A and B are shown apart, each in its own frame.
Chain A
Amino acid sequence: MQREVGTLPLAPALRARLVAAGFQTAQELLETGPCGLSKEIGISKEEALEVLQLVRQECQGDATRSAGGSGATRKCTALELLEEEQTQGFIITFCSALDNILGGGVQLTKITEICGAPGVGKTQLCMQLAVDVQIPECFGGVAGEAVFIDTEGSFMVDRVVDIATACVQHCQLIAEAHQEADHLKALESFSLESILSHIYYFRCRDYTELLAQVYLLPDFLAEHSKVRLVVIDGIAFPFRHDFEDLSLRTRLLNGLAQQLIITANDHRAAVVLTNQMTTRIGQNQSTLVPALGESWGHAATVRLIFHWDESQRLATLYKSPSQKESTIPYCITPHGFRDVQPPAVTQEAEGTEMNPRKRPRREEEK
């Protein structure tokens, strides 16, 4: 009630007039009434009524917030949060080593960033996650849908088909081994068609389309309430070229990060972003660091860096609030993102042929 007029979300011109007329708190506005208000400021009666309704709404919102009700800001104890976190699901990646270092898999309500050089497997992991989020709960998944926002055009439907087929086969094997009724029932709805039709794909060509899409994301998620994963493949690509004004870029990126955090929290979804690497030229050497600058580093809660070591792909957990920093090897097979199997000749042969997305890395190239 004692809220200052200048803080109300009114149009700036109106606000200026109210302040000039001498109104200081919201209480005064409400006491004057619409007719008095319209005469004093020189606006129509309808406009005055609108202003008062808005003020009343704001004050009511304030009252419920200060009383500790379920307003826009949530207040809860750490115990409630602990219980929530323990029952929260993870999105598994099918690579058990990676799931282990992440503490179970990709966490919901958090932003995970995957950085890496080109060709190392970021888009592969994203496609794997888009399939894995749909695994039914009885198999250990979160039974959600996925939104895939692509800025680089590297989404290949055929590859997703391969990954999904392998995932369905995996679940079928588990169902056969356990022979439980709800497993079989879940399998009926977990088919290739259903997996593909629950991946919502958006192709953004530049940063404006990306911004627009992120603004519209809350409405989309409200309609499709089962979405548990939002993947933005290539958040760096539209921002790295054609940007003369770096401060604008930082501002837009921060705004984007805020929006994504709000979306992740409100809808209990995991947000996965992929970033490129850039070279930082130091005094005597140059190192590869994630692109988009230092301030972007604060946007993601969990950061994974993928890199090569000779011909082995490695994933390093670079930033995490709850897990230790560690590195694990992984590989990409025709079935998707997997653990490295203990050295076997047949595995090598299977991995290097037939897979159009994996580039075999030869010694001479390094």
Chain B
Amino acid sequence: MATKKLRRARLSHDLCERLSRHQITTCQDFLCLSLLELMKVTGQSYYDVQKLLCKVSQACAPKMQTAYEMKLRKSVNPSSAFLSTTLHSLDKVLHGGVPCGSLTEITSPPGCGKTQFCIMMSVLATLPVSMGGLDGAVIYIDTESAFSAERLIEIAGSRFPTYFDSDEKLFCMTRSIHLYRELTCGSVLKRIMSLEEEIISKNVKLIIIDSVASVVRKEFDTKLQGNLAERSNFLARGASVLKYLAEEFSIPV
């Protein structure tokens, strides 16, 4: 939305030409300037510039919805609001399970079972909706190389022996779990940015990143100056993209 070109914001052609001569091509550049600067650059009067500002703002402002509309939309598909973890007390505390459409963070000291939990959630997500799953693919971004496919099959077989009774079903399940091994912050970020198309093409219903902290702590030593800012920059950027993906596709992350 921010990088929307001014051309598409329905400004006149000569105005766009004039602005591009000053390197102002997107809505973001336009809105970052003060009124006086805009007057200088567009060569128009104060009131005209205000009208232009309104026009450009309308082009990239978000749509309004009332809370009532949101509630109605949610009540239309109630079952897809949570992914149950099949641990009854955890589901009760979480009001249904891992929520779809927002980020959930799992933290613990080493060895508590985070990766096991992630592997179990991936199995659950591939199950059909009738069994409490999401009937979709899973994207698993592994930074610690802790994912074990054998363990995955072990969990699937012992948890749901009646469902995974044939090898065919097991293969189907493992085929829908896409594993990406990323070892640096940069590659993790690049992978997250590229996820949008993959989600649509592969019908992904769950994204797991295991784990964010390990790769960040490896690369950024907070005792060195400047690293703290860079680290928070990286984390914030990753977080905002993940939030956007979670909300846009209504999937748990």
Contacts and interface: CB of A to CB of B under 8 A. Distances in A.
A41 interface: no
Contacts of A201: 64-67, 70
Contacts of A11: 39, 43-45, 48
Contacts of B102: 153-154
A353 B67 CA distance: 25
Given A9-B46, A11-B44, A209 B61 contact: yes
Interface in A172-218: 193, 195-209, 211-213, 215-216
Given A193-B68, A197-B66, A212 B61 contact: yes
A31 interface: no
A211 B59 CA distance: 12
B62 A204 contact: yes
B181 interface: no
Contacts of B146: none
Given A153-B102, A356-B94, A205 B67 contact: no
A356 B102 CA distance: 13
A12 B41 CA distance: 9
A19 interface: no
Interface stretch (A21-29, A240-248, A306-314, A338-346): A240-248
Interface string A1-30: 000000001111110000000000000000
Which DSSP category, helix, strand, loop or mixed, fits chain B's interface? helix
Interface string B9-48: 0000000000000000001100110100001100111111
Contacts of B68: 193, 196-197, 199
Nearest to A355: B95
Contacts of B43: 11-13
A213 B47 CA distance: 19
Given A157-B71, A200-B64, A251-B34, A208 B27 contact: yes
Contacts of A213: 57, 61-62
Given A212-B60, A216-B57, A248-B32, A241 B70 contact: no
A199 B66 contact: yes
Nearest to B30: A208
Interface in A267-313: none
Nearest to B109: A364
A354 interface: yes
A216 B62 contact: no
A296 to B, nearest CB: 17
B74 interface: yes
B212 to A, nearest CB: 15
Interface residues of A, number: 50
Given A9-B45, A240-B236, A196 B71 contact: yes
Contacts of A148: 67
Nearest to A252: B32
Interface string B52-79: 0110111111111111111100100000
Nearest to B60: A212
B233 interface: yes
A157 B74 contact: yes
Contacts of B246: 153
B247 interface: yes
Contacts of A130: 67
Contacts of A80: none
B1 interface: yes
Given A12-B43, A248-B32, A215 B1 contact: no
B114 interface: no
Nearest to B41: A12
21 contacts: A9-B47, A10-B45, A12-B40, A54-B45, A160-B67, A200-B65, A201-B65, A206-B2, A207-B2, A208-B60, A209-B2, A212-B56, A212-B61, A213-B57, A213-B62, A215-B31, A237-B236, A241-B232, A241-B240, A242-B236, A242-B237
Given A130-B67, A212-B31, A240-B232, 9 more contacts: A11-B48, A196-B71, A197-B66, A203-B247, A205-B2, A220-B64, A240-B236, A241-B237, A353-B93
User: What 3 A-B pairs come out closest when comparing CB atoms?
Assistant: A241-B236, A9-B46, A208-B2
